[in-house]
Amino acid sequence: MFITLEGPDGSGKSTQINPLADYLKDQGYSVLITREPGGTPIGDQIRLILSDLKNTGMHPRSETLLFLAARAQLVEQIIRPHLKEGHVVLCDRYADSTMAYQGYGHQNDLEQIKTLLNFATGGLKPDLTLLLDMDVEEGLRRKAGGSEWNRLDAYSLEFHQRVRQGYHSLAASEPERWVMIEAGGSPEDVQAALRQVVQDRLITPVGS
């Protein structure tokens, strides 16, 4: 099973992913955690270019293609081989981030982005996507000043609001794949909600 975590900046995905993996491991699953952009030596180099606050002149199309390049590498080098061996793969961001940020955020043509995504991933889609939803300003406040603050965080508030709305539209268009979780509460509450979803979808699948 391929599970992705999505959400606006500061929604706490990175805090939640390790305890979620621990929970799955406790249930007897072999779990691989990875993240985007990055997750491979080549992807990590691309991540540095994307994040660098000095790269203010980066065109949105260049940005889009760099995310896709990192993803193509991650899919072929890490994700597909692990899925094939029967692992659960938990990924902190995936193709939906490109739809939300480069599509809705930058207001690029969504159909073109979908075509590019299909090329980059070879058509690999998640089985389950967990959307950690929260107020955009609150999320940016959580991240501001921290060492993780990057070039994309510095985009306008309106950009980040379009990203959040984009996530809502994506989730509504494929309700069988997405589950939205309110991420403004305590980390413990968010973790409990995530575990419940995974428990329902993976550990006790429908019909069993």
Residues 162-201 that bind ligand TYD (CB under 6 A): none
* Count of residues near ligand TYD by CB under 6 A: 15
For 156, the 3-state DSSP assignment is: coil
The secondary structure element, H or E, covering residue 4 is: strand 2-6
Nearest approach, Cβ of residue 87 and ligand TYD (Å)? 21
Residue selected from 39, 79, 90, 101 as contacting ligand TYD according to rule CB under 6 A: 101
104 binds ligand TYD (CB under 6 A): no
Residues 1-40 that bind ligand TYD (CB under 6 A): 9, 13-14, 36-37
Nearest approach, Cβ of residue 179 and ligand TYD (Å)? 18
Question: Given the complex with ligand TYD, which of 156 and 208 has the nearer CB atom?
Answer: 156
Amino acid at 87: H
Residue 205 Cα distances to 107, 198, 202, angstroms = 37, 9, 5
Under DSSP, the state recorded for 78 is I
Sheet holding 31-35, edge to edge: 31-35, 88-92, 2-6, 128-133, 178-182
98 binds ligand TYD (CB under 6 A): yes
